[in-house]
Amino acid sequence: MKLEDVLSIVSESRNLYVWENGEIIAQYDGRDSIPEELNDRKIELVDCSNNDFHVYLIEE
């Protein structure tokens, strides 16, 4: 699954954090957007906690 697949189904009213190498590299919180260059990145794991989505990318 790619990041763009998750972005198309996640509610815009939820916070979404994109992780790589143990760090948040992008976030969506209603104001900030996810950089388009990340759309084709493959996902290792999606976790939902406290009404937030945490998406972990496969390290390149």
Q: What is the pLDDT of residue 49?
A: 84
Pairwise CA distance, residues 26 & 16, whole Å: 8
| Contact between residue 6 and residue 44 where contact means Cβ atoms under 8 Å apart | no
Tell me: the pLDDT tens digits for 36-45? 999 999 999 9
Quick check: 60 pLDDT over 90? no
- Give the pLDDT of residue 41: 96
Domain residue ranges in the chain: 3-57
Judge if pTM exceeds 0.85.
yes
- What are 11-36's pLDDT values in tens digits? 888 899 999 999 999 999 877 789 99
C-alpha distances in Å from residue 10, one per residue of 13, 59, 60: 9, 22, 24
Cβ-contact 33, 17 below 8 angstroms: no
Q: CB–CB of 32/18 below 8 Å? A: no
